[in-house]
Amino acid sequence: MERMQTPQQPCGLPVKARSQRETDLEAGIAFLGKFCAADIKQKKYQFHRSSCPVKLTNPERNGEFFVRKGRSTSGSVRWQCKECKKITNVMPNNVSRLRYNQKKSGLMLELLHKIVRNCSVTEICDTLQINPKTYYHKLKLLAGQLEQMKDQAEREHFPELIQTELSLDCRLQIREVQNRRSALVISVDPATGYVYRADYRGSMKDTREFWNQILPAHFYLIRNQTGAGRVRMVPGSDQEGILRALERTAWSFRTGEKDTAGETLSACLAPRLESAADKYIPYYLGIYMYVYNFAPEFLGGAAMDGPSPGTLYGFGNRDLQCKLEEA
């Protein structure tokens, strides 16, 4: 087991002028954000005319100001403001959209089972009687929904669980196959085995992009993405403060070939990373990571040794069963 203490710079990032660092970090965040985030971002709606006296209200929070005017065939709901009479078509959120697209009850749950057991796409399509286009569409929906559920679970439970100092086990894996480089990073809480994030960058000419952009963004998002519970160790929550802290703080973390939880997840993922196209890998990472954290029994047998992270945290799994099964 190889373990390195890195007191100053995470993963030996070179010290650079802040403006360049900021640009790199933004690029990295944009790259990592465009996958699952794109599926879960809610559209912003304008529910009122500009002169409306109650224009700060919306149907979700202030239902008393609106009248429901039925539902369209695509599943969107029409809401009318009682004051200004404006009618707005609201697309269902992800959870509902999953339901509308569902032909068979429990399909999503079955899909999830098969994905994390590393069934091939062909095999899954055959068994579930869906075509590959539908498969990839559902893959994205599933990843987006699990991401949302993970965020929610973390927001609810993490403020109590995280100690003042966040310590991470990071597994870095850089592969070179025929001049095609890819990099995977998985960060885990060594105390509980909880996986915070897994990020992947495929098909790079060189790995500079990974070191300068993806890795800093990976750490940045771990600190930031689900709010207060994760950023306690950072003085102040402004971006500049975090950037300074990222550069300077002795952030205890280890890298290794065989850290326990990262190794296990990485082993589960290996067949999928071998076979999937780069552009789908972020979705797979999200799905495997969720299952690893919250429903490890789905992974089945040999992959899991020791206490499962899901049981240590004791949340998430029940939500998963309910939300996917009610479809």
Contact set with Zn ion (CB under 5 A): 48, 52, 81, 83-84
d(CA 289, CA 285): 6
Identify the residue whose tokens are 């993806």.
Answer: 214
3 state SS of 128: helix
Nearest residue (CB) to Zn ion, 9 versus 46:
46
Residue 185 CB contacts under 8 Å (≥ 6 apart), including other chains:
170, 171, 172, 173, 197, 198, 199, 200, 214, 215, 218
Nearest residue (CB) to Zn ion, 49 versus 104:
49
Tell me the closest approach of the beta carbon of residue 69 to Zn ion, in angstroms.
14
Nearest residue (CB) to Zn ion, 54 versus 276:
54
Tell me the closest approach of the beta carbon of residue 74 to Zn ion, in angstroms.
24
Q: Nearest 5 degrees, angle CA 11-CA 14-CA 15? A: 120
Q: If residue 107 lies in a helix (H) or strand (E), which one and from where to where?
A: helix 107-116
- Between the two ends of the chain, the Cα-to-Cα distance in Å is 44
Nearest residue (CB) to Zn ion, 83 versus 247:
83
Tell me the closest approach of the beta carbon of residue 245 to Zn ion, in angstroms.
44
Q: How far is CA 247 from CA 11, 16, 46, in A?
A: 11, 9, 41
Nearest residue (CB) to Zn ion, 26 versus 83:
83
Tell me the closest approach of the beta carbon of residue 80 to Zn ion, in angstroms.
9
Comparing CA positions, the residue from 210, 209, 221 lying closest to residue 246 is 221
Nearest residue (CB) to Zn ion, 47 versus 313:
47
Tell me the closest approach of the beta carbon of residue 66 to Zn ion, in angstroms.
9
Tell me the closest approach of the beta carbon of residue 88 to Zn ion, in angstroms.
10
At residue 65, what is the residue type?
F
